[in-house]
Chain A
């Protein structure tokens, strides 16, 4: 029984720890998906044709 209670507490502790770690380490979307020197590309964005297969 003590192993079960300790396990539940460990799951909660690890989960809360992971949430704090990710909150501090991960960047927010506006920082991750933007550059400081964003500029307008003079070439057309959709230049046409079929892009290489991924």
Chain B
């Protein structure tokens, strides 16, 4: 018989295959009811519709219940924000502010002391005030650069410096951003305590705003220690910095009780506030340095020229002359005797 040897070889092989397949077949359900306890396809498709706010979630045994979130359609919008919106807002706000400042400089030039520098100075900021200002400023620069790297770095820096350098720099930037934030938050708090009473709104602020602080050539409006422009800068810094701190610490510490949507909201608020505040601070840096003669000295040495002070803060100068005349120093040198 020709078939006998073949059967003798094939039979054990077929038997072995049957033994292997049998347990697998036994594991298959005998009857499947797809609509009984499993997620129906219609529900999934409904949840995935663009305007849906439904969430497909399961259960997990670890403390972070958010890990059970499988599908959240609003995540699509959040991804669009991260990849597109924040980039667009930043690309408009920051270069836009730089362009505005350059245009203003070309039209107006540097704001000079009209009466010319005097031989007298007046104490503007004490040592501790300047310390707090520079602590907040230097930490904000570190936070701003490391934060902007998250928004623009992948597009602008990665192609230039390469993946390895960009990766190392971004990792370092992440640590800097996290840890330096505490100095910034402390600075914001101290600035609020030190200067809030001098930054409350006053009626004369309206006139200052209408005349744009005299920078357009309509005379110098009176101002107390801080004019309306400085008050706006103060509140933008306090409110913006406070918002950055709160939203940033929500992102950093990730409270377990916070839903994913709350975390996404914190991320959106943090990014948008950050790029807008960077643009605002650029204006502050401009007017405090190249934009106005004599302004940097206030934070550099703590004193300002008396003529500068009389032009920009006439009410404040009168108060200081009346209450703390010792703060005004370096009077005109007496004429030499014949």
Contacts and interface: CB of A to CB of B under 8 A. Distances in A.
Interface of A: 1-4, 6-8, 10-11, 14-19, 22, 32-35, 38-39, 41, 43-54
A46 B39 contact: yes
A47 B55 contact: no
Given A35-B63, A50-B47, A14 B186 contact: yes
Contact of B38 (A18, A48, A50, A51): A48
B220 interface: no
B175 interface: yes
Contacts of A43: 59
A47 B134 contact: no
Contacts of B54: 50-51, 53
A34 to B, nearest CB: 6
Interface residues of B, number: 48
Interface of B: 37-40, 43, 46-47, 53-64, 67-68, 70, 127-128, 130-135, 137-139, 142, 175-176, 178-180, 182-183, 186, 259-262, 300, 302
B180 A15 contact: yes
B179 A16 contact: yes
Given A10-B183, A46-B39, A49-B43, A4 B127 contact: no
Given A33-B64, A41-B59, A51-B56, A15 B260 contact: no
A12 to B, nearest CB: 9
A32 B70 CA distance: 20
Given A1-B300, A53-B54, A54-B260, A15 B182 contact: yes
Given A7-B138, A18-B182, A33-B64, A50 B56 contact: yes
Nearest to B55: A51
A19 B259 CA distance: 27
Given A14-B182, A46-B58, A46-B70, 13 more contacts: A3-B127, A7-B130, A11-B180, A14-B186, A18-B182, A35-B62, A38-B62, A43-B59, A45-B68, A46-B56, A48-B38, A54-B261, A54-B262
